[in-house]
Structure 1
């Protein structure tokens, strides 16, 4: 087990022992734990006990099989057991048709045998980052939100006037094919809005393909979005379908759209205007039928600055614009969210649902929550894990208002007397984020970090 790895758990399911050994050795620097399984049934059993960041699944198990029937069947069983599971499919060389079918059935991505080590690591890193995002905003199984979701209602929790406007826009825009731009701070639930829009659409029976542009290296975005042909560049050993083509007939969700390089924005504009996509190295365009939902934490001012974002592309993306409120702007929803996450984590950790003191509830409602629902969720999870049989008090939630005040003062005054490493790190991350209007790529570059490393620090400090 590697303590310093970026992510917690990867599971690899393949009947080839050589593949399992190679994957375990390659991924152990990225994941703290890599579990390898050779029997499909063992993967289903594992999900009852563990929650992987990513599951890497072979398409064929029976000797000589090439139709991927067993792998696709197992994919369906795994997603039935955990609808939020992130699955990357392993296909045979040039198995593009199998890859497309797997993604239509819920797989997040695929890699082809024999794989490029760099491509596998990049794919698994992107998938793991998506897993963290999806589980942050997804409602727990068995919750009222899931019941609402199953009946076609929106699973977003909140009845404040600002959330009522969000519900109304989802209900009206969902059934159309209009492109939607979702704006909001980190942790407000932009992916959840995207999933509700897809669920309300006429494309609900088709795939929703998610691309987290903040988690993909700039050099790989072109290939990830548009696909590539064999030999288009070094390590392009087989044709690869892009996420845009994989979403054909369904919805393409472009998260962190503000991280799309200016050089690639005209190419996406062509897709939206002409409904065709041209893979890297291809001579012919391929027709696609997609609905695009994009999301960003960039401010409207930055989005409307042509130095950061093409205005003709913005015009195509924001036919409908949904602006998610911060948690401090809808404090009246905090008690409902608290009840929701207390029940979720008590169930997950096999505890009784803890009670709150009046002081704890008041403190949670009064807190500013710079990390929004994500930060509230993490605070409640920690409190449940460490809870005893006594009601939870403000101290159980580690809100640390004094820390926040010290960091803010230090940014304004430039003082450096406070040498506490955690507070200094938080101050520097906050300062970089504000300086670059929460553009993750720019802030990460300023700090000398990768985007994934910056996301981890934002999670750590509730930003």
Structure 2
């Protein structure tokens, strides 16, 4: 089977980069290049947006500007768990060994031997896979609610949660309403060193401005009419833990300034108080607004935006990851069945096709409501398109037995998946099995095509 492997090669010598690229591409790697440490950080940020996120970094020790040791430190902060292999001159092996003590995976001497290069990077890739699998298994064994899905977009979100969770960085979660921003915040908290401390949630859009301020910072007795006793704010309640500020784009300007001060100084002042209180609270924020546009329009502070967006996690809307619908339906039907004391064992291909033909403006939240409606209206243990609301329902129906408790449900291909598989096979045949041309013909990225090939068990011919 095809296994997508991505490496970031950072070297200021163009000739050596060219040689390394040729060797690694011949070995099946996707190669991202950077000529300096500074450029490498830019490429890393861009890779999260494009979906071609590196699994391994190959970094030259001696470079002008940011050298290999400095870049190693930055990569450890931004992509925790990603192995870094260092390239060093023969006379500088001592410094490479020192770098391994600081967390580098391995080192190679320049010019790198081709066989040694592929072997070491292969081991680094397998190590990275193991780290990610351990994170996934830990979440499953712990009974955590996973971010359901297997699409490239969801895998990218999971990967960013695993990387950013253990850090102390502020995180800005971006996504439409109903995509699961709160689930991502919970995942970040569980993956952090603060998991044993509280996760306190505040919806900035649900509270009036004056009440939001007192909720965040607390107040002292007599601060205003009705303040009959001291009350700690959410920052104090989250001390040592995490504060999740949902819908941060709705926060008024005066409070934005106060929040910026907290982020800078790690102190708060309760209403009616002249004393400052030190707090150790990690901030995770979320919004369905485009904060860059809000900054340009003068509705959101630019300095606060950059303080919050140390790392951005964009959650794809459901319309961009419809291949996750079978998994989501399977999970949600179990959940809703338990809630409503009703078991659904059978769905129809037409039911799934109808779901896949709808754009889901309300995202997963809307899907859950539609499924609960269908479950409640069903007179048997089967779901057909007639149980869907008019804007979602389809026309065709043929029963598919999913087995007890969905043991077979949604894991075997329904008609939608079969059609997708056939389309990929046809495109591969028409393009001589060339992956890049096939991806272009299908209108998807090469990485997404590789994911589909692996998903459907299609091997390289």
Give TM-score scaled by structure 1 length: 0.54
Once the two structures are overlaid, the 10-residue window that deviates more, 189-198 or 350-359, is 350-359
Mapped to 1, the partners of 2:296 and 2:250 lie a distance apart of 14
SS in 1 for 2:243: strand
Instruction: Give, in angstroms, the shift of residue 366 of structure 1.
Output: 1.6
Kept in 1, the 8 Å contact 2:149–2:327? The answer is yes
Mapped to 2, the partners of 1:325 and 1:295 lie a distance apart of 14
Mapped to 2, the partners of 1:261 and 1:215 lie a distance apart of 13
Render the CA deviation track for 1:310-340: whole Å, top value 9, x for unaligned. Answer: 0111111111100000001000001100011
Equivalent residue in structure 2 for 1:362, among 330, 334, 353: 353
- 1:315: which partner in 2? 306
Instruction: Give, in angstroms, the shift of residue 259 of structure 1.
Output: 1.2
- 1:163: which partner in 2? 154
Kept in 2, the 8 Å contact 1:188–1:327? The answer is yes
Mapped to 2, the partners of 1:351 and 1:296 lie a distance apart of 35
- 2:205: which partner in 1? 214
Kept in 1, the 8 Å contact 2:322–2:356? The answer is yes
- 1:273: which partner in 2? 264
**Ranges in structure 2 where 5+ consecutive residues have no aligned partner:** 1-135, 394-461
CA gap of 1:243–1:349, structure 2 versus 1, over 3 A, is same
SS in 1 for 2:223: coil
Compute the RMSD of aligned alpha carbons: 1.9
Kept in 2, the 8 Å contact 1:180–1:292? The answer is yes
Instruction: Give, in angstroms, the shift of residue 376 of structure 1.
Output: 0.2
CA gap of 1:192–1:237, structure 2 versus 1, over 3 A, is same
CA gap of 1:166–1:301, structure 2 versus 1, over 3 A, is same
SS in 1 for 2:286: strand
SS in 2 for 1:322: strand
1:382 and 2:385 correspond: no
Instruction: Give, in angstroms, the shift of residue 343 of structure 1.
Output: 1.4
- 1:238: which partner in 2? 229
Render the CA deviation track for 1:240-299: whole Å, top value 9, x for unaligned. Answer: 110011110000000010111011111010100000000011101100001100000002
Matches within 5 A, 1:427-438: none
- 2:167: which partner in 1? 176
Render the CA deviation track for 1:94-135: whole Å, top value 9, x for unaligned. Answer: xxxxxxxxxxxxxxxxxxxxxxxxxxxxxxxxxxxxxxxxxx
Matches within 5 A, 1:26-425: 148-151=139-142, 155-305=146-296, 307-389=298-380, 391-400=382-391
Render the CA deviation track for 1:10-34: whole Å, top value 9, x for unaligned. Answer: xxxxxxxxxxxxxxxxxxxxxxxxx
| Bigger Rg, which one | 2
Mapped to 1, the partners of 2:241 and 2:315 lie a distance apart of 24
Give TM-score scaled by structure 2 length: 0.54
**Ranges in structure 1 where 5+ consecutive residues have no aligned partner:** 1-144, 403-463
CA gap of 1:167–1:399, structure 2 versus 1, over 3 A, is farther
Kept in 2, the 8 Å contact 1:154–1:167? The answer is no
SS in 2 for 1:304: helix
- 1:61: which partner in 2? none
CA gap of 1:230–1:153, structure 2 versus 1, over 3 A, is closer
Mapped to 1, the partners of 2:335 and 2:188 lie a distance apart of 24
Kept in 2, the 8 Å contact 1:181–1:294? The answer is yes
Mapped to 1, the partners of 2:331 and 2:352 lie a distance apart of 14
SS in 1 for 2:226: coil
CA gap of 1:149–1:303, structure 2 versus 1, over 3 A, is farther
Kept in 2, the 8 Å contact 1:278–1:285? The answer is yes
4+ aligned runs moved over 3 Å, structure 1: 145-154
Kept in 2, the 8 Å contact 1:341–1:377? The answer is yes
Render the CA deviation track for 1:126-178: whole Å, top value 9, x for unaligned. Answer: xxxxxxxxxxxxxxxxxxx9994443877110111111111111010000000
Mapped to 2, the partners of 1:292 and 1:206 lie a distance apart of 14
Kept in 2, the 8 Å contact 1:303–1:314? The answer is no
Render the CA deviation track for 1:385-430: whole Å, top value 9, x for unaligned. Answer: 111126322221214259xxxxxxxxxxxxxxxxxxxxxxxxxxxx
Kept in 1, the 8 Å contact 2:179–2:318? The answer is yes
Kept in 1, the 8 Å contact 2:170–2:283? The answer is yes
Kept in 2, the 8 Å contact 1:367–1:399? The answer is no
SS in 2 for 1:382: helix
Kept in 1, the 8 Å contact 2:326–2:352? The answer is yes
